[in-house]
Chains A and B, each alone.
Chain A
């Protein structure tokens, strides 16, 4: 059962099955299938050797004439993301049980899952690119068909914007393919190339912009707030929880090791963009009235910090980035789920119309408090572990970078507590007077998320150990 290809095959088969289901049972079947996917991940987790480099490799010739291989493998940087993808899917599906989605919705989700896994496992740039684009198509339809508001226009922009970035990356990949002596797309061939400085310069930008749009890093972020806000809750969770990690993963897998000199030259500029993004997005988040938009901006700030950790290029920053990608996934699923519950019950997300929910729904208020504390990085929550390591990494990079990036500690508290206060505290409003507390399935999902937040915050070493070896290796690429 330790065949990586199975992990990709299963969601593809799921997608086929689910596409044919028109009944309400689809969501249950989707949940079960996603749990099977998660179960299939466990053997890899158990057998993984943190210091073993690339493992479980599978390599098939795909298009022999062009030396294209379907080449999969995982190391300590991809494994946490595979865990994230397969671990979050059941949660995201479970949050949609109150909705009226049919099989086609879940088929798209499963299809996207396959694309995401392909991205995280691909060791061949061509395979990587295929996964990268495959993941984009289903999410486009999920957001465009089940979204709200001005969804068609917003999603078209999202699609074109990210696609433009992908094309830049494609040019970079094709150029690298030309440079490899025996013309292949292998990751190992790419990192073995000794490119001239001038080549690394433009290659840096080709890859960086592609990933920066996806993450998004300031100032390539303007597609994000509208897309997140207009997407259905599950779509937002997919986008923020998993999909944006493709970009960060891209930085770690394809940017740092392939064009190290380019990163050495322009890394500081990228770092500045990340830090500006943290402060800028946090400040914007402070005054948002739409709760979902507030979280969208806060997400820009959080991924800005993750990216800053990557560009700090030391073991602390890279470890922090790896673990924080998982943490951020868990916490945004929690946040967007709470907002979805609130919106379902009150028909609004406007903070000015909400308030007093804690008195009507004390259980929801407790879960929301734990999730918020995870998001602001209070010690003993998962967010702290990530934030601490990331800021430590950034601090090693430069004192003032850490001071400005650290402002997220203060500004994060300002907007998260405002969000909490405006929804949960104060007197009830017309909208919240009838608010019904969470129960059953909702408690199960929120409870599990809360437990994960606390568990990782108290015992983070299991996850940190997974990535330790690979991060160590990656950090040696610096200044090569």
Chain B
């Protein structure tokens, strides 16, 4: 199987080409079947690969399979190959991407059934899977960069899938441009890595990193640039505002790209480069600070949003913040564990939201929902499971992964734990607020919507159920020792993080008793929040006010997303537009071109004046000649 790694990304690419060319000729059934089948085969291949890696790990080896496909760019001594790397980290990522990818393809068959662009949609989804697999499989930074930018393109195409709507097209453009800001950071990091280590291959770079002292300026610069790249792709401050807007895309896209896979690429990349990052404590600190700020800011915004997808979008930004917090405090396994569990429950929540929107005839405002649990029992049950998982109530998966990150945060700095705990409280509140507003109480929509209300078809509910099961049991793969677990994930990933670990003094170790206490505090806090949400939205049946109703200062800030978009508009977008007009109309046309035209005009005018000297008056010519001769004589005398 290891010779066939290239098949895994190639299959979705074939799906893209065939579906793309035949999108008008094939029936919807064929398109859906083909699009899903290629991802399923990729998934099966990934499983086989995973089992190879697993067996290798069981045998006590590192579980690394590399494959060189062909030389891509070679100039002088710069040689970059298209090569793939499967190790414990990418093996798990492969399963997430192809596995959840497959479920979402199946779901899309039902969700997109009535859409005219059905074929185009599946072609784009396959293209996305292709690029995401390149990102995950790349054995060097440049192959990763192909995937990195490629998923950005797919994100652009899919956010703007309903391109007739101008605001959707704007959202797509915003996503692409903001990602590109990060991509510039990535590219500069690539140059710096090339300059420092002479290669882009992960194996060479990480082996070379051992020779650098912690805090070396080159390593610090590289890691900061890579982190900038990650803030773009993984929606952290200051580049997070594109992700909520990205909800303009069809909901399966939000689930696949903007929750489960693409947005976690930044965490994957940093986890992959852990050797470099542990050598730069400053960067890790920066990551922690940015991460906790993002987690809190996004959670605070999610508290008051009324669009069901917007709540989930801000929740994603916030959860990504937790993952970065994990990276920042050195809990690489914990961060990746959260990537995994988050992929399950957030994909589930988005698909559930999609099911609700589908049932509600494309309504996304929760103020017009309510009481849906009777009409949509499966959606309700599965979303309840997802909500419990994300809120962090044991024994659901989210509890374990979040707990691991928070425990490490506590060990690093109790303040980080406190802020993280605050975020967790908000998470529990806004998630249950969303759940109650949607499914409890009485229906608040129109009669038309009520009449049309229905549970979604099997192709949509089965993926929900599968994801719900995973959200429940997903935590089992890395049970903490404090709860009698065996840290399976940590052991499995050990070779990936071993080199990084060896470079730093052993991290602070938490006593089991402290760990128990932290868990207890967070569980109790979360339960209180759930009760509070229940009290407000179920018992007292409150619905949020309309858009125009004045709000208190804090509620207003949260409702208007802390005016970050407005700030960027005023500080960046408008000045650049102004500069564009100023450069174009003033500097270019009047300034520079004015000088050019002025030079031409001056020549013309000089000619006009000099022309008058040629007036045909012989006496004048003679006079001039005499003056000239005298001048020459004087010059001759003076220079003697």
Pairwise interchain contact B150-A379, C-beta atoms closer than 8 A: yes
Interface residue A417 (Cβ < 8 Å from any Cβ of B) = yes
Tell me whether A410 and B73 are in contact (CB under 8 A): no
B80: nearest chain-A partner, CB-CB: A388
Interface segment among A82-90, A118-126, A195-203, A278-286: the answer is A278-286
Compute how far the CA of A414 lies from the CA of B150 in the bound complex, rounded to whole angstroms. Answer: 17
Quick check: A417 and B177 within 8 Å, CB to CB?
A: yes
Are A359's CB and B584's CB within 8 A? no
Interface membership of A25, Cβ < 8 A: no
**Which residues from 413 to 439 on chain A have a C-beta closer than 8 Å to any C-beta of chain B?**
413-414, 417-418, 421, 424-427
**In the complex, which residues 164-215 of chain B have their Cβ closer than 8 Å to any Cβ of chain A?**
164, 166, 169-170, 173, 176-177, 180-181, 183-184, 187-188, 191-192, 194-195
The verdict on B153 contacting chain A, using a C-beta distance below 8 Å, is yes
The stretch that binds A, out of B344-352, B384-392, B531-539, B573-581, is B573-581
Number of A-B contacts (CB under 8 A): 129
- Residue B149 lies at the interface, judged by CB distance under 8 Å to chain A: yes
- B181, B184, B579, B597, most chain A CB atoms within 10 A: B184
Q: Is A472 engaged at the interface, CB distance under 8 Å to the other chain? A: yes
In chain A, positions 368-413 with a C-beta closer than 8 Å to chain B are: 373, 378-380, 385, 388-389, 391-392, 395-396, 399, 402-403, 406-407, 409-410, 413
Q: Does B618 contact A (CB under 8 A)?
A: no
The answer to whether A449 has its CB under 8 Å from any CB of chain B is no
| Stretch of B43-51, B507-515, B588-596, B625-633 that contacts chain A | B588-596
* Docked complex Cα distance between A472 and B75 (Å): 10
Contact A425 B577 (CB under 8 A): no
Q: Is the CB of A461 within 8 A of B73?
A: yes
Q: Does B160 contact A (CB under 8 A)?
A: yes
Are the C-beta atoms of A378 and B583 separated by less than 8 Å? no
Q: Which residue of B lies closest to A369 (CB)?
A: B157
- Asked if B78 contacts A392 (CB within 8 A), the reply is yes
Known: A409-B187, A418-B173, A468-B75. A219 touches B584 (CB 8 A): no
Q: Which of B558-591 contact A (CB under 8 A)?
A: 576-577, 579-581, 583-584, 587-589
- A319 in the interface (beta carbon within 8 A): yes
Is B191's CB under 8 angstroms from A395's CB?
yes
Instruction: Check B577–A222 contact: CB distance below 8 A.
Output: no
Q: Is the CB of A402 within 8 A of B188?
A: yes
Which A residues are CB-close (under 8 A) to B597?
A: 157
Contacts of B583 in A (CB 8 A): 280, 283-284
Q: Is the CB of B149 within 8 A of A378?
A: yes
Distance of A214 Cα from B169 Cα, bound (Å): 37
Give chain A nearest CB distance to B236 CB in angstroms.
18
B592: which of A219, A315, A407 is its contact (CB, 8 Å)? A219
Q: Which residues of B contact A165 (CB under 8 A)?
A: none
A379 CA to B577 CA, complexed, in Å: 28
Contact: A286 with B580, CB < 8 Å? yes
0/1 per residue, A276-304, Cβ < 8 Å to B?
00001001111110000000000000000
Question: B60 at the A/B interface (Cβ < 8 Å)?
Answer: no
Cα distance A222–B583 in the bound complex, in angstroms:
12
> Do B580 and A403 touch (CB < 8 A)?
no
A356 within 8 A of B: yes
**Complex-state Cα separation, A460 to B75, whole angstroms:** 10
Q: Is A406 touching B76 in the complex (CB atoms < 8 A)?
A: no
> How does the 8 Å CB contact mask read for B151-165 relative to A, with 1 for contact and 0 for none?
001001000100110
Closest-by-CB residue of B relative to A323 is B75
**0/1 per residue, B393-407, Cβ < 8 Å to A?**
000000000000000
Asked if residues A407 and B184 are in contact (CB atoms below 8 Å), the reply is yes
Q: Tell whether, in the assembled complex, residue A392 and residue B191 are in contact, meaning their CB atoms are under 8 Å apart.
A: yes
Task: Pull 9 A–B residue pairs with CB atoms less than 8 Å apart, ordered by A.
Answer: A157-B596, A284-B580, A316-B75, A359-B164, A380-B146, A421-B169, A425-B160, A461-B72, A464-B74
Beyond A280-B587, A358-B163, A409-B187, list 10 extra A-B contacts (CB 8 Å): A378-B149, A378-B150, A406-B187, A410-B181, A413-B177, A417-B173, A427-B164, A460-B73, A461-B74, A464-B74
